[in-house]
Amino acid sequence: MGKEIETPSPKNADTVQTTELLNRHWLSKNVFEIELARPKSFAFEAGQTICFHHESLKRYYSLLSTPDDPILKLCVHHVPKGLFSPILADAEIGSRFKFTGPHGYFTFKPSQRDPVFVATGTGIAPFVSFARSGIKNFTLFHEATTAEEIYYQSYFKKIKSTYHPCLPSPQTAAALPEGMHQGHVAACIKANLPRTTYDFYLCGHGDMIRNVTLLVDEWFTGSYVYTEVFF
């Protein structure tokens, strides 16, 4: 069960609250998942973010957990020379952090069109929350630099979503793990997604979001595009 922190009921998403680091485990040499205490009255929708306030820094992170989870979970890329992610990577269990939230509008909007989720790296986080919240019948494309950075693949394989992990860097056919595509996610979408209209949800690196939006304009005319740019 999650550990509750007593804070006054937040008046709005900009009310500063306190949380405590409960656990951390590394998913790869660069990325870790953390668990945080969930303040009693903190409510959010799948796909929303929280913002840490640390001294003069503010940093946003997508919630990996679902609205019903007793704790808050995040999936964080450790940027070695970054100002804040190394603090989260090194903090003692039990450390307290200030945050605001929930923030953002990158939530699921049901429609007649099939949903297509597209992520780079830790941009997979809101889609884990969508899927764990019960959203089904989506197609997911996830690009990462190495096979070990295709996080949550066993989960997505288990729930039998239509799942396309992609590795852009040159790989020999023999080195490419089974079921993974070689190439950037935009090329993978073009090669694998039937040409009709969809609701695209794009999350992660700005270059991917630009490239996939251009592809949608050209190839999937009439589709909707929702975006969450991490950097």
Ligand X SMILES: Cc1cc2nc3c(=O)[nH]c(=O)nc-3n(C[C@H](O)[C@H](O)[C@H](O)COP(=O)(O)OP(=O)(O)OC[C@H]3O[C@@H](n4cnc5c(N)ncnc54)[C@H](O)[C@@H]3O)c2cc1C
By CB under 6 A, residue 62 contacts ligand X = yes
By CB under 6 A, residue 117 contacts ligand X = no
Among 2, 20, 27, 60, binds ligand X (CB under 6 A): 60
By CB under 6 A, residue 65 contacts ligand X = no
Please, which residue, 54 or 190, has the CB nearer to ligand X?
Answer: 54
By CB under 6 A, residue 59 contacts ligand X = yes
E runs forming strands in the chain: 17-26, 31-37, 49-54, 57-62, 71-77, 96-103, 114-120, 139-143, 162-167, 181-182, 198-204, 224-229
What is residue 224's three-state secondary structure? strand
Please, which residue, 60 or 226, has the CB nearer to ligand X?
Answer: 60
In whole angstroms, what separates CA 170 from the centre of its chain?
A: 25
By CB under 6 A, residue 36 contacts ligand X = no
| Lookup: tokens for 165 | 């992990």
By CB under 6 A, residue 61 contacts ligand X = yes
How many other C-beta atoms are found inside a 10 Å radius of the C-beta of residue 135?
A: 17
Catalog residues that contact ligand X under the rule CB under 6 A: 49, 59-62, 74-77, 79, 82-85, 104, 121-122, 125, 228, 230-231
